[in-house]
Structure 1
């Protein structure tokens, strides 16, 4: 099996004793066996560490890193220092994968010399949650928008992700060629939430050959007390994190007009989401120059978007008027 490319799987772990066995078993049961698993125990206070240690000897290449609780970004960054695989995947420890995931992804990556593969996910509701949370989980199926068995260049891929509004930042929806990340020194921004909003665009910038696999390999679990099911609009740290993301994304603008348009689109999406935060309506924050500046930028961008849409609508209406006139 060593003649097949090694796949490195990074697995941050923090207090997930209820779900960790299912996650690790999904790695153990992969039909593709040449995997190295780098698990980072991020200061867990439950039995997560003991569960990880019980898989030593069962998983073929398995490394456990123990560190003080430092957050998801720092856990992933710690593991990045140890990867040796040609390909890389980020798995969350409360979720799991279908057994044929890496066999199919490696085959495609090798056959077509791919830098990146995007795939779909299936949402699974924890027994403690009501059916209403399916809407929170979102739809991770891009069939009909992206085309399988097609090689996308960076410009075409980001153009689709801008105009069709299908961009999904979550790192667990992508299979990476490790070289893209390592050679360009791409890491997760520490001490913020929504870190994938920065990481994924930075990776896309360096990918020349991208493919889409319509299979739902990733099994996304919605559970109580997770980020997905909490009231994000009441989370001050989430609000501050988005401000940091906006600042960094603005600094990543470059000569590529299509990529810049994609970045501007992402900025407008983030600005718009921030208007829903309860913290926006607290006087002491709203009066700060920083917040007012941010709002000004958002509304300038919003004005541009609305103006563009009105132009498109008027153009369509003129065309319809011409068709009607000629049919009379």
Structure 2
């Protein structure tokens, strides 16, 4: 690791690559075009079967700041972890090669960086393909360019949600090392666990005000389009990890309440996404198996109490706790109609009568 340089921190950009040959030129081109120049770019070829490695080599030959690391396929987590092991920067920055960086990305984020700040969080925009034509922006905290400290950032994420992705955040390397932060191997949706852990340990963060990252939705398998059993299992693994490592051993009552609320909110999100996908795709054959997995999970990883920070969420949490273990699909329908008071009241009354009859 280099000595901390407040004015011009050395940034290690970690780029995991798997079969992305057609995206390399634009992706790494947006790195090369950065107005900020004090960086290294660790491009990890994670066992690609296409021409990815040769495309990366072109950039390594073009600029010595690009470094190729080749390995057998270990998945996204494994590729990022390899990058972390080789990183020499004061800061870590994750970038996916099918996306694009704004040319002022690193300059904007490093301008906000100080050695005592754990994470500088950049603003993201959705684009279609590798362009800079913005479709919309992802969730971002509204207080920008101002240091936030003395807060529980897990609670902040609950009350005012912001993007859970690992990329487009400038992480203090000492913060990652001190808290022994690594990506969990062997499943997808690893960003959700990484996000929780970084926000759990962070003491000082800051949000930027400008879009610095262009997220290519044209090359992503959206959960609304593809929610397999593997997706469901992976989400449940994340929740179970948080429950076991952070919720169960927590001694501070307030922190336990916050973590429990985060888990409950996550459970509702996962269940809702599953049944929303099932509703739109009538030919899915794994509804019963998925429902069984959800019920088993909720039985073993129960949350009984939660933060009451707004009326809608309080109602949703209460409905989920009351009904989801027995019938998660019914709980999803009740929650979906939270804002439709008359419909919700009739539907809940009908369900309670049905339970009593059975």
Answer whether TM exceeds 0.5 for this pair: yes
Extract unaligned runs of 5+ from structure 2. Answer: 279-283, 307-311, 320-358
Aligned to 2:127: 124
Q: Which residue, out of 137, 140, 145, partners 2:138?
A: 140
Q: Which residue, out of 235, 238, 244, partners 2:231?
A: 238
Q: Which residue, out of 141, 160, 163, partners 1:168?
A: 163
Give the direction of change, closer, same or farther, for the CA distance of 1:237–1:307 in structure 2 (3 Å limit).
closer
Aligned to 1:50: 54
Residue-by-residue CA offset, 1:159-188 (whole Å, 9 max, x unaligned): 331122x13210113211011111221101
Q: TM-score, normalised by structure 1?
A: 0.79
- Structure 2 distance, partners of 1:122, 1:152, is 23
Give the direction of change, closer, same or farther, for the CA distance of 1:126–1:5 in structure 2 (3 Å limit).
closer
Is 2:97 the counterpart of 1:93?
yes
Q: Which residue, out of 305, 314, 325, partners 2:314?
A: 305
Residue-by-residue CA offset, 1:267-324 (whole Å, 9 max, x unaligned): 223322332424896445545xx642324567957999328889xxxxxxxxxxxxxx
Q: TM-score, normalised by structure 2?
A: 0.73
- Over aligned residue pairs, what C-alpha RMSD do you find? 3.1
- Structure 2 distance, partners of 1:284, 1:100, is 47
Cα drift, residue 6 of structure 1: 0.9
Cα drift, residue 64 of structure 1: 1.0
Is 2:288 the counterpart of 1:292?
no
Cα drift, residue 264 of structure 1: 2.6
How is 1:31-110 mapped onto 2 (pairs within 5 angstroms)? Answer: 31-110=35-114
Cα drift, residue 227 of structure 1: 2.5
Give the direction of change, closer, same or farther, for the CA distance of 1:229–1:282 in structure 2 (3 Å limit).
closer
Q: Secondary structure at the match of 1:60?
A: coil
Q: Which residue, out of 261, 268, 274, partners 1:265?
A: 261
Matched-pair contact (CA < 8 Å) for 2:17–2:44: yes
- Structure 2 distance, partners of 1:281, 1:69, is 28
Matched-pair contact (CA < 8 Å) for 1:161–1:262: no
Q: Secondary structure at the match of 1:215?
A: strand
Q: Secondary structure at the match of 1:56?
A: helix
Aligned to 1:250: 243
Extract unaligned runs of 5+ from structure 1. Answer: 128-133, 311-328
- Structure 2 distance, partners of 1:44, 1:105, is 31
Structure number with higher relative contact order (C-alpha < 8 Å, ≥ 6 residues apart)? 1
